[in-house]
Every structure is written in structure tokens, then in C-alpha cells.
Amino acid sequence: MSAADGYALSHAANQQQDDLAYWDEHSFDMQRYGAVNCLIYGADPEGFADFAIAIEMPEDQQARCPITYEQTSASWSALLDANFRTEESGDAGGTIFVNYADGGDAIHPEVLALVRDSGMIEEATASVEGLLVLPNDISVNFEACGTINAFYDPSTGEVTMCYELVNYFAELIVADIESRE
């Protein structure tokens, strides 16, 4: 739900940039918002009935979401089933290493401290390691990139989380909170 909310906040902040988005490798923010919420609803239509009403999901879309969820779930299972951790796998598999470079001007010091010191990233990576037997070690590197983005390098297996992206979403959240006061 937080990811979907982030897409909605990003869309609201960047409506004037929609013309450029046609050439981007990603779908529009509101398409992503709808897709994530569809998966949430589709996973448990009865349990999320009030959620669908609250976000004003059209009824015809609600009817399609369980099918979309099942297709997505089956696709992910086809890719991941062989990697789910079992009692037999024990401690086998790679480790996720999280590295924090100096943020410089790319991120507010308070935001960097929250990300680095809260342990939320390490908690998320431990959850992934507990669920999956990773074929290799993975490095997740937080650093200044000069762009609001994140990257995966398949040749090294490294993930780069740009401080600019983290800062961007922090600023959107603060602006949203301030607009409600």
C-alpha cells in the first residue's frame, strides 16, 4: 500500500511531466498505483472490499483483479519456487550486504540517518534472506547518483539505491503531511 501511495504522490507532484513519460521505460505513476492496488485487492477481495471502495476502484476492475493476482502470483512462483528456503536448505545461499555511502547534498541528513539508523533496510533484507536461498551474494548500495532512480546491474548482481530517490519520496511525504494541516 505504501508503494502505491508513493506512486500517487509522485503523480500529483509531476503531472506536468507526463509528456516525457511516454518515452520512459516504466509505466505512468498512476498505472503503477492502480496495478499495485489491484494486486492487493485481488489477493483477498473479501478482506479488501472496503479498501477498494476507499480508493474508488471501478467495479469492472475489481472483477479483474483476482485473475491478475493469480497470474502474477503464478509467474512469481514459477521463478521463485526453487529458491524458497526449506528446512533442508539450512543456512545455504547468498547474503544481502547493505552499504551506505556518504550522502553529500543528495539527501537530507535527517533522512539519511532515518534510513541508515532505523534498521528498516536490514530488516527487509533479512526477511528476503529468510524466505529465499539466494544463488549469490547481493550488494545493495545506497549512494548519490545524480538522478532520482534506482538500478540493478545484472552483470554484478548489485542494486544501487540512489539517495536522490529516497530524498524525493521523503519530500513528497512531508509535502503531503503539510498539505493536510
pLDDT tens for residues 31-85? Answer: 777 888 899 889 999 998 988 888 788 899 889 999 999 999 999 999 899 999 9
- Whether 21 has a pLDDT exceeding 90, the answer reads no
pLDDT of residue 22: 47
- Is residue 100 located within the same domain as residue 173? yes
Same domain, 154 and 110: yes
Q: Note the pLDDT tens digit of each residue in 78-116.
A: 989 999 999 898 889 999 999 999 989 889 899 899 999
Band of residue 14 on the pLDDT scale cut at 50, 70, 90: low
**69: in domain:** yes
Same-domain status, 48 and 6: yes
One domain, residues 51 and 103: no
On whether both 25 and 68 belong to a single domain, the answer is yes
Query: How would DSSP label each residue in 81-150?
Result: GGGB--TTTTT-S--EEEEE---GGGS-HHHHHHHHHH-HHHHHHHHHHHHB--SS-EEEEEE--SSS-E
Examine the domain organization and report whether 52 and 100 are in the same domain: no
The reply to whether 7 and 63 lie within a common domain is yes
Q: Say how far apart CA 131 and CA 65 lie, in whole Å.
A: 26
> pLDDT tens for residues 117-137?
999 999 999 999 999 999 999
- By DSSP bridging, strand 138-143 and strand 158-162 are parallel
Answer yes or no: pTM beyond 0.75.
Answer: no
Query: Which range of residues forms the domain containing residue 72?
Result: 2-83
Last residue of a domain, one of 38, 54, 83: 83
Q: Domain count of the chain?
A: 2
In a domain, 88, yes or no: no
* In-domain check, residue 30: yes
